[in-house]
Amino acid sequence: MSETDAKRDIFRREALEHLSSPEQLDALLEVTTSRAWLALATIGAGLGLALLWSVVGQIPITVEAVGILVYPRRIVSVQVPAVGQLTNLTVAVGDFVTKGQVLGTLNQPELAQTLEQERVRLAEALNEGSQKMGMLKRRLELEREALLRKRELLSARIPSLSAIAEGQKTRNDRYLQQQQANLGAARETQGRLGEALQKRFESYERLQREGLSSDDSVLSARQALMDNQVQRAELELKAQEIEVRRLDNEQAYQGALDRVDGYKSDLQELEIREKEFQQQELEASTGKEQQVLEIQRNIARLEQQLTSRGQIVSEYAGKVLELTAAPGAILAAGQRLGAIETEDEDAELMGLAYFAVEGGKQLTPGMSIRITPSTVQRERYGSIEGEVTEVSAFPVTTDAVTSMVGNAEVAQQMTQGQSVIQVLAKLFRDKDAATGFKWTSGHGPREAVTAGTTAAVRATIEYRRPITFLLPILRQWTGVG
Domain spanning 111-305: which CATH class is it, in words? mainly alpha
Question: b/e string for 65-77 if b means 16 or more Cβ within 10 A?
Answer: bbbbbbbbebbbb
Rounded Cα distance between 169 and 254, Å, is 10
Strand partners, 439: 384
Q: Indicate the pTM of the whole model.
A: 0.42
- The arithmetic mean of pLDDT across residues 105-121, rounded, is 80
Query: Confidence class of residue 428 from pLDDT cuts 50, 70 and 90?
Result: very high
Are the C-beta atoms of 306 and 116 separated by less than 8 Å?
no
Q: What is the 3-state secondary structure (H, E, C) of 431-470?
A: CCCCCCECECCCCCCCCCCCCCCEEEEEEEEEEECCHHHH
Question: b/e string for 392-408 if b means 16 or more Cβ within 10 A?
Answer: beebbebeebbbbbbbb
Which strand ranges, in their side-by-side order, compose the sheet holding 84-89?
A: 311-313, 102-107, 84-89, 330-331
Per the model's pLDDT, the better-predicted residue between 54 and 157 turns out to be 157
Rounded Cα distance between 64 and 178, Å, is 133
Q: Where are the domains of the chain?
A: 62-101+318-461, 111-305
* Phi, psi angle pair for 68, to nearest 5°: -155, 145
* Phi, psi angle pair for 390, to nearest 5°: -150, 135
**Which amino acid type is present at position 252?**
A
The predicted-structure confidence for 179-213, as pLDDT tens digits, reads as follows: 778 878 877 888 888 888 888 888 888 887 877 77
Rounded Cα distance between 212 and 205, Å, is 10
**Which amino acid type is present at position 110?**
E
Query: Confidence class of residue 132 from pLDDT cuts 50, 70 and 90?
Result: low
Are the C-beta atoms of 396 and 420 separated by less than 8 Å?
yes
Rounded Cα distance between 64 and 7, Å, is 76
The predicted-structure confidence for 249-268, as pLDDT tens digits, reads as follows: 777 777 777 777 776 777 67
Percent of the chain surpassing pLDDT 70 = 76
- The pLDDT, as a whole number, for residue 481 is 47
Give kind and range of the element (H or E) at residue 48: helix 34-56
- The arithmetic mean of pLDDT across residues 359-388, rounded, is 90
Per the model's pLDDT, the better-predicted residue between 141 and 189 turns out to be 189
Query: Confidence class of residue 282 from pLDDT cuts 50, 70 and 90?
Result: low
Taking the CA of residue 335 as centre, how many other CA atoms within 13 Å lie in the half-sphere pointing to its CB?
A: 16
Are the C-beta atoms of 216 and 204 separated by less than 8 Å?
no
Query: Confidence class of residue 371 from pLDDT cuts 50, 70 and 90?
Result: very high
**Which among 77, 73, 68, 80 is positioned nearest to 106, based on CA atoms?**
80
Pairing label, strands 336-342, 75-79: antiparallel
Length of the chain: 481
Rounded Cα distance between 449 and 444, Å, is 10
Rounded Cα distance between 115 and 382, Å, is 64
Angle separating helix axes 408-415 and 398-405, nearest 10 degrees: 130
Question: b/e string for 207-229 if b means 16 or more Cβ within 10 A?
Answer: ebeeeebeeebbeebeebbeebe
Rounded to 5°, angle at Cα 330 from 329 and 332: 130
Evaluate the CA torsion angle 335, 341, 346, 347 in order and state its sign: positive
**Which 8-state DSSP code applies to residue 396?**
B
Residue 246 has a CB neighbour count (10 Å cut-off) of 17
Per the model's pLDDT, the better-predicted residue between 4 and 337 turns out to be 337
The predicted-structure confidence for 431-458, as pLDDT tens digits, reads as follows: 888 888 999 888 888 888 888 889 999 9
Percent of the chain surpassing pLDDT 90 = 8
DSSP assignment of 315-375 equals SS-EEEEEE---TT-EE-TT-EEEEEEE--TT---EEEEEEEHHHHTT--TT-EEEEEETT
pLDDT at 142 over 90: no
* Phi, psi angle pair for 131, to nearest 5°: -65, -50
